[in-house]
A and B are shown apart, each in its own frame.
Chain A
Amino acid sequence: MSEVILKNVAKKFSTKTLGEVTAVDDFNLTIREGECFSLLGPSGCGKTTTLRMIAGFEDLSDGEIWIGDKPVSVKKRNLYVQPEDRGLGMVFQAFAVWPHLNVFENVAFPLRVRKVRKSEMDSRIAEALKHTGLSGLERTFPSDLSGGQLQRIALARAIVMNPKVLLLDEPLSNLDPKLRESMRFEIKEVQRRFNFTIVYVTHDQAEAMALSDRMLVMDMGKIQQIDTPTNMYNNPANKFVYGFLGLSNFVDVTIADGKVYPEGASGQAIECGIPKDFSESAGTLASRPNEIDLLAEGGYRTEVKARIFLGDYTEYRMDVGDREIRVQTASEHGFHVGDKVGLDFTRVKWYSRDEGISDAERERRKII
């Protein structure tokens, strides 16, 4: 059994400037055996704190955490298993490769702590190094290696004990973009071979979607949505999740006589269906830049304000009411700045107005 279960987990910090801050609030989550599960959210949302509570570096303020069928943190019983006794593997953002030990010694550390026999140790290290592409670098010291290689050492060190659960704390964010993409596959590959449960923390939605079987978006210490990447991208539960999972346009609208009028526009309506279950008279339309088509005639009439050629596609900017929206299209329309153009919203999502929390509040929380 290598599930990770969080029940009513909460974490409060007391800070000098802000008083008590709730970093994680009433968190309920079951991460299934063998799955790759991502915690995704902006900085200060509490995702790293959650991971550190699972690892045992932070105690809980409330609730309990189970790994497999054993409780590791239970606030009510004051049960708290030390990090070294939880049997986890972990990879940190800043690699945390020990600079005074060479590659072999770094990877050997967890085995040495547990006094594994020499012969077994050698074979396990060899295997871990093989699967992380580090064979041949055993005697090299970290100062002579690149960022990608350092992260592979951290990975090898985490898997050499064959843990049931591997925790990854933004492991790729210190790497350059190209390397980041190839490392994603390497992590998946290693998981497939060793078959452990992954808990992955990141603020990069592309990374989360590429890696995860299921994922979770959190904000301000609260879970916003738990789902598979596809479902979540296609059906974001709220405006925050929608905005976090890719490029987005939001247009505030009012509904009158079954028609949809953008705020600040002069009587022109957007042609799009109103969902039956949407009963409010005002709402927010959400649409991704590639879900809007440009028409020479018809559609919602507006004027091209800017045109940016970006190689694979072209981006246009125009006003809808008092909002500026972005449209990205691969086809060569040949519209120019100042041209009249029509917008066809092929796919929209509806959300209530004023969902979500002010940016100022979010900024404030970044301090913790």
Chain B
Amino acid sequence: MKLFSRSSPDMPGRGFDINKLLMIACLLILIVTVAMPMLMIVYNTFFYGFTFDWQMFVHVIMDPSNVQAMWNTILIAFWVTLLGTLLGVFYAWLIGRTNIPLKNLMKTLFVIPYMFPPFIGAVAWGLLLSPRAGYINRMWMQMMGTREALFNINSIAGIVFVQICYYFPFVFLQVVSALERMDPTLEESARISGANQLYVIRKITLPLVVPAIAAGAMLILISTLSHFGVPAMLGFSRGIFTLPTKIYELINRSAGSFEGIRQGAALSILLVLVVVIALWLQRKILKAGHYDIIRGKSMRPMLINLRGAKYPLLFVCLASLFVIVVLPLFIIFAVGSLRAYGLPLQLSNMTLANFHHVLFSSRMAQDAIRNSFVLSISSAIIAMFVGTMIAYVVVKVKVKGKALLEILALLPYSVPGIVLAIGVILMWSGTFYLNLYNTIWIILVAYIARYVAFAMKSSSASLEQVHYSLEEAARSCGATHLESLRDITVALIRPGMIAGFFLIFLPAMRELTTSILLYGPYTRTLGVAIYAINAEGNITQSAALSAIAILIIMLGNLALRFVTRERRRVS
């Protein structure tokens, strides 16, 4: 066989380039799903039809109840960030640097809140601590013979408490991993310099993990500023609003009228401004301190002997795990099995009727479960491919404009879900000849926009480990660009793509913030159905549906763990 069959001295060239094509495709997708909806929010806030109108914006942001909502948002975010960070650092230090027993068990348990949907946690805490009907409050009133509740969960403090339970793992995980990766000789050299253990913690360990603490704290801050579920579940009934719930209320009150959506859009701009300030803070803080503390030759870090405090502290850990993890889980399953809400939690009052009703009779619940599955799976698959494509262009291709691509893809990561939902409504309700409102498609579009960033992060992490030379080697062996992509690069990052699928499937399964603005009569999702059933007062049924949601999410997490373990074995 001849290597070069053509007799001419030129080798065959080709006119078009796959990379350029990929780049254009990515840009188009992101402009339609992300950039346009965002622009629509700004446009509709300041223009009515085609006339400039800034008065509505001023009117909305000067409205006292909206200003109140903003202060509530900031107040809640402040306390959740502060207390969640303290809690996370404390537990991380206990597990990373002391001789407390049961470390591995606790490390696993402390991460559970991470995968637990916060709004279901809010449902659970409502069942336990709502001022009159909450089980703990009733027990307290009975025991003390009083009519005063122990704690009212339907308050700012209650909202802060529930959010802390679900957000402190952000800091915990960051700090535990920083402590584990830290070179122990950094601490040892301080000891040999004459410093005792407490001095080393204050002057060496703590300052070195400050960047990790700050990163986790900023994650909490930004998440809690845009958080919808907990204040919606606990605050609505008492008229306590945050910006995200106020936006929802504005639109909901006006029954989806255009004026209501415009007001929501205006308030969204305020919310985005608050988040942008937080993001700016984040950039500044993360840039300020980034140390290289990765260990060289590894030795076990010296663990601090807690001596007498060991078992009291272990008790504190286990007690807080009980409160954060066990109690809410238990109450959801227990109330989901009750014949009627309010009955004592006794075996004789238990029944499977609620689960049966939710799974087999309730049209709304059945629809919701099916919709959530269809939406989560399809959005995860689509977002995974789009995200991988974008990641490929950003990581591997040298073209102009890929910075823009990256910014666009990561934008929905920081834009609150409720804001994205308004953008999607404005974009897809007939403005551009396409009306998806009240259909499942509008939710799908919103999910894809929201989760592409997840897939992109997961895939680019894998792609960065695939060296250029691997693809080049394939091409030098005679593979075309497309073949080398398919057989080498995609084959190597497949585990990252599968992990990306689950990283989208899981949050999409429990999504509430975006879908609550987008659902139609037959397109409720799991989150929306739980919210709606709860609001209707069918407490036992909403608990049963919550329990089912939790089971689905736990199974999904198990699958994710299995997949990532496989992945580790491969590498």
Q: A93-B296, A94-B185, A100-B289 are in contact. Are A57 and B193 (CB under 8 A)?
A: no
Does A103 reach chain B (CB closer than 8 Å)? no
5 closest A-B pairs by beta carbon, nearest first, are A94-B296, A110-B193, A99-B291, A96-B185, A96-B189
Task: List the B side residues contacting A85 at CB < 8 Å.
Answer: 194
Cβ-neighbour of B195 out of A89, A93, A109 (below 8 A):
A109
Task: List the A side residues contacting B299 at CB < 8 Å.
Answer: 52, 57
Q: How far is the CA of A84 from the CA of B297 in the complex (A)?
A: 22
Q: Are the C-beta atoms of A55 and B208 separated by less than 8 Å? A: no
Supply 16 further A-B pairs (C-beta < 8 A) apart from A88-B192, A99-B291: A82-B196, A84-B193, A84-B196, A86-B192, A89-B192, A92-B188, A93-B185, A94-B296, A94-B297, A96-B185, A98-B190, A98-B208, A100-B207, A113-B195, A157-B189, A170-B297
Q: Are the C-beta atoms of B296 and A109 separated by less than 8 Å? A: no
- Return 27 A-B CB contacts under 8 Å, by A number: A55-B188, A55-B192, A56-B191, A57-B191, A57-B302, A82-B191, A83-B191, A83-B192, A84-B192, A84-B194, A84-B195, A84-B196, A90-B189, A93-B296, A94-B185, A96-B188, A98-B186, A98-B204, A99-B291, A99-B292, A100-B291, A109-B190, A113-B195, A114-B194, A143-B291, A158-B192, A170-B297
Q: How far is the CB of A324 from chain B (nearest CB, A)?
A: 34
Q: Are the C-beta atoms of A109 and B193 separated by less than 8 Å? A: yes
Q: Mark A215-257, 1 if CB is under 8 A from B, else 0.
A: 0000000000000000000000000000000000000000000
Q: Are the C-beta atoms of B208 and A113 separated by less than 8 Å? A: no
Task: List the B side residues contacting A110 at CB < 8 Å.
Answer: 193-194
Q: How far is the CA of A96 from the CA of B296 in the complex (A)?
A: 9
Q: Mark A66-102, 1 if CB is under 8 A from B, else 0.
A: 0000000000000000111111111011101011100
List the interface of chain A (C-beta within 8 A of B).
52, 55-57, 82-90, 92-94, 96, 98-100, 109-110, 113-114, 143, 154, 157-158, 161, 167, 170, 174
Q: How far is the CB of A165 from chain B (nearest CB, A)?
A: 11
Q: Mark B293-327, 1 if CB is under 8 A from A, else 0.
A: 10111010010000000000000000000000000
Q: A84-B195, A93-B297, A110-B194 are in contact. Are A143 and B292 (CB under 8 A)?
A: yes
B188, B194, B196, B297 interface centre (most CB from chain A within 10 Å): B194
**Inter-chain contact total with CB atoms closer than 8 Å:** 80
What residue in chain A is nearest B210 (Cβ atoms)? A100
Q: How far is the CA of A84 from the CA of B187 in the complex (A)?
A: 11
Does B471 reach chain A (CB closer than 8 Å)? no
Q: Tell me the count of chain B residues lying within 8 A, CB to CB, of chain A.
A: 27
Q: How far is the CA of A55 from the CA of B193 in the complex (A)?
A: 11
Q: Mark B210-232, 1 if CB is under 8 A from A, else 0.
A: 10000000000000000000000
Q: How far is the CA of A18 from the CA of B210 in the complex (A)?
A: 38
Q: How far is the CB of A155 from chain B (nearest CB, A)?
A: 12
Q: Mark B166-210, 1 if CB is under 8 A from A, else 0.
A: 000000000000000001011011111111100100011001101
Q: How far is the CA of A94 from the CA of B291 in the complex (A)?
A: 15
Task: List the B side residues contacting A167 at CB < 8 Å.
Answer: 192
Q: How far is the CA of A3 from the CA of B189 in the complex (A)?
A: 22
Task: List the B side residues contacting A157 at CB < 8 Å.
Answer: 189, 193
Task: List the A side residues contacting B295 at CB < 8 Å.
Answer: 94
Task: List the A side residues contacting B292 at CB < 8 Å.
Answer: 99, 143
Task: List the A side residues contacting B194 at CB < 8 Å.
Answer: 84-85, 87, 110, 113-114, 161
What residue in chain A is nearest B187 (Cβ atoms)? A96
Task: List the A side residues contacting B293 at CB < 8 Å.
Answer: 99
Task: List the B side residues contacting A90 at CB < 8 Å.
Answer: 188-189, 192
Task: List the B side residues contacting A96 at CB < 8 Å.
Answer: 183, 185-186, 188-189
Q: How far is the CB of B13 from chain A (nearest CB, A)?
A: 45
Q: Mark B340-374, 1 if CB is under 8 A from A, else 0.
A: 00000000000000000000000000000000000
